[in-house]
Every structure is written in C-alpha cells, then in structure tokens.
Amino acid sequence: KNQVEQSPQSLIILEGKNCTLQCNYTVSPFSNLRWYKQDTGRGPVSLTIMTFSENTKSNGRYTATLDADTKQSSLHITASQLSDSASYICVVSPSSGTYKYIFGTGTRLKVLA
C-alpha cells in the first residue's frame, strides 16, 4: 500500500535553532517528492519539489534531501524563526502525469521566542 509517514508528529524548538523533519515513503513507482508548509487556517504552500534523480533542494532557510534508495526524505530548517511555526507536509507523486498524490499527515512545528 502506498504510504507516506512523517516524524515527529509535533516538535517544539527555540527561535534560532535548527531542526530536521523526516519523511519515509513506501510509494512505487516514484516520480517526485514535495514538501509543503501549511500555516494554521491556511492552505499548503509549496517549499520544494524533487525528482528521483535529485538528492537536495534548497529554498532559503529550508533544505530538503532525498534518498530514493532508502525512500527517505528530510526537511532541514536553519536558524528557525517564529514564522516557521506551521505544519510541514510531505507529498509523494507515484508517477509523472498522475493526479493521485500521496500526502503525509504532517509535522506540526512550534517555534518559541
């Protein structure tokens, strides 16, 4: 069964610290993996998207990595800010041209001053 599992479920860190969120997937075939940020009460916003041939992608202080062999991805946030408080969702696309993306349940991050 195609699944995307994220850990931890929730995380609290102090402002200025770094953190890493994990995503493991059992999706086959695999086309690409996306990370989204969802602020409370808002829709998700795309952060990064990586194909199987890419193993790292950055967007400002956000860096995503992908290991297609072990089917793992991580999202690293550097020098966290209060505005990073949000849910982070990992999404896997089974094949190019599909509309049936597999969504993880997200990691809820809280950054404290």
Q: Which of 34, 66, 86, 109 binds other proteins (CB under 8 A)?
A: 34
Q: Which of 30, 35, 44, 77 binds other proteins (CB under 8 A)?
A: 44
CB 89 within 8 A of CB 103: yes
- Contacts for 77 with CB less than 8 Å, ≥ 6 apart: 18, 19, 20, 21, 61, 62, 84, 109
Q: Is position 60 an interface residue for other proteins (rule: CB under 8 A)? A: no
Q: Which of 45, 79, 82, 112 binds other proteins (CB under 8 A)?
A: 45
Stretch that binds other proteins, among 18-26, 58-66, 74-82, 90-98 (CB under 8 A): 90-98
d(CA 20, CA 27): 22
Q: Is position 89 an interface residue for other proteins (rule: CB under 8 A)? A: yes
Q: Which is nearer to other proteins, 57 or 80 (CB)?
A: 57
Q: Is position 110 an interface residue for other proteins (rule: CB under 8 A)? A: no
